[in-house]
Amino acid sequence: MTITDEILKKVRKLHPTEQAKLVDKLITILDEPDPEIDKLWAEEAESRLAAYKSGTLKGISLKDVLEKYQ
């Protein structure tokens, strides 16, 4: 049995209110900023902007994007 399974087994024994509090705390942990991920996204954004400005990357209109998902 993995540690995750063990924790889940214990969580199932908690009152629903306590389970909800735990979920809230887990979401809070997952929402914490990660400087390394933020750095990678910033580099990606800068790379895409540079490619767009140089003409090697074409833009797509909002209309075309929305039509694709309708």
Q: What value does the mean pLDDT of the chain take? A: 95
Q: What is the pTM of this model?
A: 0.54
Q: Round to whole Å and give the CA distance between 36 and 52.
A: 24
CA distances to 48, 59, 61, 66 from 70, in Å: 26, 20, 15, 6
Q: Tell me how many domains the chain contains.
A: 1
Per-residue pLDDT tens digits for 44-57 = 999 999 999 999 99
Q: Round to whole Å and give the CA distance between 69 and 40.
A: 28
Q: What is the distance in angstroms between the CA of the first residue and the CA of the last residue of the chain?
A: 44
Q: Round to whole Å and give the CA distance between 43 and 26.
A: 28
What residue numbers bound the domain in which 21 lies? Answer: 3-68
Span 65-69, average pLDDT: 93
